């Protein structure tokens, strides 16, 4: 048995794509209705997935307690404190203006 090759006529597709805005404008109510229904469908799927299914999950079997890695926490805390002190020190420094000599204004 031989499989037929499907030939796609690009000119017909391009003509349809060129006529699409005009078709949408002529049938504005049905286009809005289709967009509204598709948004409603997508919203209901997302609501079902993240709200309904989340309530059905049984969380009673999660008895494992997760411990925080104290060494990693202290390391992160120390780096944050170092960055905070560097930022506090940078506020008190006064930097010279490198463009003061290159200004075309006369000196006073």
Reported as a single tens digit per residue, the pLDDT across 40-49 is: 999 999 999 9
Residue 41 lies inside a defined structural domain of this protein: yes
- Is 106 among the domain residues? no
pTM score: 0.41
Q: At what angle do helices 28-47 and 10-26 cross, to 10 degrees?
A: 100
Confidence at residue 65, expressed as pLDDT on a 0 to 100 scale: 66
Q: Is residue 102 part of a domain?
A: no
DSSP 27: T
Give yes or no for residue 16 having a pLDDT over 90: no
Question: Residue 90: is its pLDDT beyond 80?
Answer: no
Is residue 45 in a domain? yes
Does 14 reside within a domain?
yes
Q: Which of the pair, 2 or 38, is modelled with greater confidence?
A: 38
| Whole-Å CA distances, 83 to 55, 69, 92, 95 | 42, 21, 15, 20
Query: For position 105, what pLDDT does the model report?
Result: 62
- Supply the range of the domain harboring residue 21: 9-56
Task: Summarize the confidence of residues 52-76 as an average pLDDT.
Answer: 79
- Total tally of structural domains belonging to the chain: 1
């Amino acid at each position: 048995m031989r499989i037929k090759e499907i030939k796609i006529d690009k000119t017909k597709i391009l003509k349809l794509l060129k006529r699409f805005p005009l078709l949408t404008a002529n049938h504005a109510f049905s286009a809005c209705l289709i967009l509204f229904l598709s948004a409603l469908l997508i919203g209901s799927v997302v609501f079902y997935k993240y709200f309904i299914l989340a309530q059905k999950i049984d969380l009673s079997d999660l008895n494992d307690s997760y411990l925080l890695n104290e060494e990693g926490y202290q390391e992160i805390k120390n780096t944050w404190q170092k960055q905070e002190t560097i930022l506090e020190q940078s506020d008190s420094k006064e930097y010279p203006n490198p463009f003061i000599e290159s200004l075309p204004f006369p000196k006073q």
